Amino acid sequence: MLKTKKFDIINYLKTEDDIKEYLDVVLEEKDYTCLPVALADIARARKAMTAVAKAAGVSRTNLYQSLSEQGRPAFNTVAKVAQ
């Protein structure tokens, strides 16, 4: 039986260039609903979700929920995370 693993982009975001290229692709698609998820991926890849949540002024749990595919974060939250 074939064994597979769930794909997780953070396994491929090893360098700042990888992160920049990923963000460029997300922005080129002009589907800005993907931007919060991409920002969450980048924070997870940098192992900085707690620090990002603190800087954004929200709890870590709230940040995970806001930046999920089902989340609908306020622009202010997205802007703080992007910063």
Rounded Cα gap, residues 83 and 5, in angstroms: 32
| DSSP SS3 for 49 | helix
Rounded Cα gap, residues 77 and 14, in angstroms: 25
The structure's pTM equals 0.86
45-78 pLDDT, tens per residue? 999 999 999 999 999 999 999 999 999 998 998 9
Q: What is the dihedral of CA 73, 58, 81, 41, to 10 degrees?
A: -80
Give 53's contacts (C-beta < 8 A, 6+ positions apart). Answer: 59, 60, 62, 63
